[in-house]
């Protein structure tokens, strides 16, 4: 009996030793730390990390002897950034019609890991992916979560809901052209009952969020850029169904009437939100609706898509709303509407996600507010505030660093030198 007890004790001690030896402690020495919660910059902070969580922060923290020290004492440290509007399964090429008619889902899938890696190395440790064909986004999310490929943490939307002939209806320009041979493998839906079914399908397949097209858009060939494409009744059905299943709703919307309908219907965020009037701004403020700006993508279309063989109609649509979109963002910032950072990466190359910060500051946000839009605000929209969005004890160790202070020059966030996600370092190019 004594020998059996002794054996049990030895097994317990050995188990504890193994667990202890597997605990990875890291200590980051941060020269400056941007505290997005208080809106201040702290000097000479120590951040302790065990496995994937932050365990302590302060200027007088004792660093454990067995800790791996990461010297960022000459850098500015921030929470990992969050992009609330991406499409990580593709990006623009120089072959518009070839992309539509010749590439298969396999072509898009085999290159998507390049885009996820670029996005992570740009400092974005979390992304909301708002629409993908053939459930590529589901596979990407799961492959990243399982450590198969490198990339940001992803929340995905599966198929974007669209009315027939609407902005996300790519089921073929002629009935003889079959873009997808699997029945119901689409987000195209008309009428309340069909819409509810599409929402349920997306959730069944693994959607974290529901996205729909409230209006026309730029990168589709319908005549309008911003006309409504769903009735208020249909939008309410989308929102009610999604919320019943515990999913938030994002509405692609450029035109004023479509934006208003989406906000009244109860969407959680309006993407692009290009043409707004004072009534729209007031309504969004009252409802607590987030605006996700996606500014640089429009300029990228105007400057580059003509060279890529895109139809002139698409370029002209982008030009037609450019000034109004800039003016609308100024109105929205002045009106106190909540803003969460988003880029529409895929319209422009992945990895350029930091470009939108300068647009936000130019429109009237302070550099701190712009950073908050991509950290604490974005985390709030995505319902992950308890886990990320700030450098806080017990949150994920999602931490980035830049050589200069972005409060002095927001453009330094276009060149992130250090990236940690979940306590793992994916990039370290800090100048010594």
The pLDDT of residue 20 is: 41
Question: Which pLDDT value is given to residue 13?
Answer: 44
User: Among 3.90.550.10, 3.40.50.12710, 3.20.20.140, 3.40.50.10440, what is the CATH number of 81-381?
Assistant: 3.20.20.140
For residue 271, what pLDDT is reported?
98
pLDDT by 10s per residue, the chain, length 432: 445 554 444 444 444 444 444 568 999 999 999 999 999 999 999 999 999 999 999 999 999 999 999 999 999 999 999 999 999 999 987 776 667 667 777 888 889 999 999 999 999 999 999 999 899 999 999 999 999 999 999 999 999 999 987 887 665 555 555 555 566 778 999 999 999 999 999 999 999 999 999 999 998 888 889 999 999 999 999 999 999 999 999 999 999 999 999 999 999 999 999 999 999 999 999 999 999 999 999 999 999 998 888 889 999 999 999 999 999 999 999 999 999 999 999 999 999 999 999 999 999 999 999 999 999 999 999 999 999 999 999 999 999 999 999 999 999 999 999 999 999 999 999 876
Side-chain-side CA neighbours of 425 within 13 Å: the count stands at 18
CA 430 – CA 419 distance, rounded (Å): 10
Catalytic residues: 211, 344
Phi first, then psi, for residue 211 (nearest 5°) are -125, 135
Q: Are residues 225 and 245 in contact, defined by beta-carbon separation less than 8 angstroms?
A: no
Cβ neighbours for 291, distance < 8 A, ≥ 6 positions apart: 269, 270, 273, 284, 332, 337, 338, 339, 340
Fold entry, domain 23-80+390-428: Urease, subunit C; domain 1 (2.30.40)
Enumerate residues 6+ apart whose C-beta is below 8 A from 226: 215, 216, 253, 254, 255, 256, 258, 274, 275, 321
Report d(CA 420, CA 432) in Å as an integer: 18
DSSP lists the bridge partners of residue 26 as: 49, 68
Predicted confidence at residue 183, as pLDDT, reads 60
Within 10 angstroms of residue 274's Cβ, the number of other Cβ atoms is 29
What pTM was computed for the model?
Answer: 0.92
Phi, psi of 327 (to 5 degrees): -65, -35
- Residue 291, beta-bridge partner list: 270, 339
| Among candidate residues 153, 102, 163, 147, the one with its CA nearest the CA of residue 129 | 153
- Calpha distance 372→273 (Å, rounded): 19
So what's the pLDDT on residue 221? 80
Axis crossing angle, helix 312-334 with helix 296-304, rounded to the nearest 10? 160
**What are the residue boundaries of the structural domains of the chain, listed by start?**
23-80+390-428, 81-381
């Amino acid at each position: 009996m004594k020998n059996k007890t002794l054996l049990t004790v030895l097994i317990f001690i050995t188990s504890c030793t193994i667990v202890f030896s597997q605990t990875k402690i890291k200590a980051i020495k941060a020269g400056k730390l941007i505290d997005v919660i208080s809106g201040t910059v702290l000097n000479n902070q120590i951040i302790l990390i065990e496995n994937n969580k932050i365990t302590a922060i302060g200027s007088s923290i004792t660093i454990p002897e067995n800790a791996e020290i990461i010297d960022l004492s000459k850098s500015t440290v921030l929470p990992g950034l969050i992009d609330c509007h991406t499409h990580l399964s593709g990006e623009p090429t120089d072959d518009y019609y070839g992309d539509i008619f010749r590439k298969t889902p396999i072509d898009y899938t085999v290159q998507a890991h390049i885009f996820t890696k670029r996005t992570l190395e740009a400092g974005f440790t979390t992304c909301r992916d708002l629409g993908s064909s053939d459930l590529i986004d589901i596979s990407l999310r799961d492959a990243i979560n399982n450590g198969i490929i490198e990339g940001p943490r992803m929340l995905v939307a599966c198929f974007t809901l669209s009315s027939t002939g609407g902005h996300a209806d790519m089921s073929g320009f002629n009935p003889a052209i079959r873009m997808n041979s699997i029945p119901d493998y689409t987000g195209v839906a008309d009428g309340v009952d069909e819409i509810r079914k599409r929402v349920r399908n997306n959730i069944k397949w693994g959607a974290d969020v529901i996205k729909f097209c409230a209006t026309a858009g730029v990168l589709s060939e319908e005549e309008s850029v911003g006309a409504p494409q769903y009735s208020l009744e249909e939008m309410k059905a989308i929102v009610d169904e999604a919320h019943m299943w515990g999913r938030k709703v994002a509405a692609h919307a450029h035109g004023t009437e479509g934006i208003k309908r989406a906000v009244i219907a109860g969407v959680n965020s309006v993407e692009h939100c290009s043409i707004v009037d004072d009534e729209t701004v007031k309504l969004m403020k009252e409802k607590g609706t987030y605006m996700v700006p996606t500014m640089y993508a429009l300029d990228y279309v105007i400057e580059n898509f003509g060279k890529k063989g895109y139809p002139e109609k698409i370029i002209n649509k982008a030009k037609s709303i450019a000034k109004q979109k800039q003016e609308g963002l100024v109105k929205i910032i002045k009106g106190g509407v909540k803003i969460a950072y988003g880029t529409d990466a895929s319209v422009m190359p992945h990895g350029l996600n930091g470009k939108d910060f300068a647009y936000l500051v130019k429109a009237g946000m302070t550099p701190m507010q712009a950073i908050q839009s991509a950290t604490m605000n974005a985390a709030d929209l995505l319902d992950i505030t308890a886990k990320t969005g700030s450098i806080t004890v017990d949150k994920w160790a999602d931490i980035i660093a830049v050589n200069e202070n972005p409060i002095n020059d927001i453009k330094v966030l276009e060149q992130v030198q250090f990236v940690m996600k979940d306590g793992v370092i994916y990039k370290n190019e800090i100048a010594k």
